[in-house]
Amino acid sequence: MRVGITYDLKEAYLAQGYTPEEVAEFDCPETIQAIEEALWAMGCETDPIGTVRDLVRRLALGERWDLVFNIAEGLSGFARESQIPALLEAYAIPCVFSDPLVLSLCLHKAMTKRVLKSAGVPTPDFAVIERPGQAAAVSLAWPLFAKPVAEGTSKGVSARSLCRTPEELLAVCDELLAAHRQPVLVERYLPGREFTVGIMGSGEEAKSLGVMEVLLTENAEAGAYSLENKWLYEDRVKYRLVDDQAARDAARVSLDAWRALSCRDGGRVDVRLNEHGQAEVIEINPLPGLNPDYSDLPILCRLAGMPYQELIAGIVRSACARAGLSLDAPKARRPVRRAAI
């Protein structure tokens, strides 16, 4: 099977003048290499493609692939994560992970929460702030949490995201509107434990890979699994696999959310406990980070005893089952390297 790989590399965008925060979601060459090696071990021929623009050029030249392993986050717009899946869909080329509709929906956290609420999946009450000064009219129960409506990797999230007064909320919302040029999601802050739930599969076949609790150390920014805490996770964050009643509740609501949104193949759902100890969904991650060392899903799998190669193989098998593709028997051959990465 010939598998193309699409991605956005941090170093390529940094060279163009983008800031480290702007490229925080993008990948490093080690991630692409790790995915290639896992695919190679499955008997796949790998072909690194690159960004959506690289894909457009290759498609225009008439190139095709049996499957594309897409981890490209895209550069701009609410639909940026769905650009490559939509393009592949137009050419009838299957790809791993969710379809364009789901990826676009889940990137917009407010739209996602509206769908979850309509499906009866618990998620904190919220408001969307679209212009400076609008936060003064928010009437949700305090404290509140503010973050950009369509960012990943905790971009725009800091200790200041947790707001206890109208003055704090107004200031943070105005700053986020100016810095990220998109609306701000304001939601009730849930004071309980925070989990991320790993999920593999689609529909009724979807299953929990485990529940990982996120614990901030005394060196961390308080109250938030922020971008800075993620960057300095070795000093600021501890992770542990849990299987108590709260964790089982987190897994249950995560699978409810995964199925309500029709997510596919693999990903994560982030959950916190409210003041009554009840699990509520705070974010869906249908395009998860896959760095073998520091991304949350590989960390969770490592704690659960699942090797990285098995994680990638499970994602590919799920996509192949959906697309009616058969995997080749593993062969001892090296990946094909074509695109500049």
Q: List the chain pLDDT tens, one digit each, 341 residues.
A: 999 999 999 999 999 999 998 999 999 999 999 999 999 999 999 999 999 999 999 999 999 999 999 999 999 899 999 999 999 999 999 999 999 999 999 999 999 999 999 999 999 999 999 999 999 999 999 999 999 999 988 899 999 999 999 999 999 999 999 999 999 999 999 999 999 999 999 999 999 999 999 999 999 988 888 888 988 999 999 999 999 999 999 999 999 999 999 999 999 999 999 999 999 999 999 999 999 999 999 999 999 999 999 999 999 999 999 999 998 766 545 555 544 44
Cβ atoms of 1 and 64 closer than 8 Å: no
Looking up tokens 């790790």 gives 34
Give the containing element (helix H, strand E) for 282. strand 279-285
Phi-psi region of 151 (alpha: psi -120 to 50; beta: other; left: phi over 0): beta
β-pairing verdict for 266-273 and 194-200: antiparallel
Q: Are strands 266-273 and 279-285 parallel, antiparallel or unpaired?
A: antiparallel
Q: Which helix (H) or strand (E) holds 87?
A: helix 83-90
CB-based contact 201:266 (threshold 8 Å) = yes
Q: 117 and 282 in contact (C-beta within 8 Å)?
A: no
Q: What is the pLDDT of residue 170?
A: 97
297 within 8 A of 291, measured Cβ to Cβ: no
pTM for this prediction:
0.93
**Would you call 267 helix, strand, or coil by DSSP?**
strand
In Å, how far are 115, 120, 205, 296 from 262, measured between CA atoms?
Answer: 11, 15, 12, 21
User: What is residue 184's predicted lDDT score, i.e. its pLDDT?
Assistant: 98
State the pLDDT at residue 325. Answer: 96
pLDDT, position 331: 56
Q: Which H or E element spans position 298? A: helix 296-303
Q: Dihedral of CA 79/281/262/4: which sign?
A: positive
**Prior bond of 148 cis (ω within 30°):** no
Cβ(213)–Cβ(183) below 8 Å: no
Residue 211 three-state SS: strand
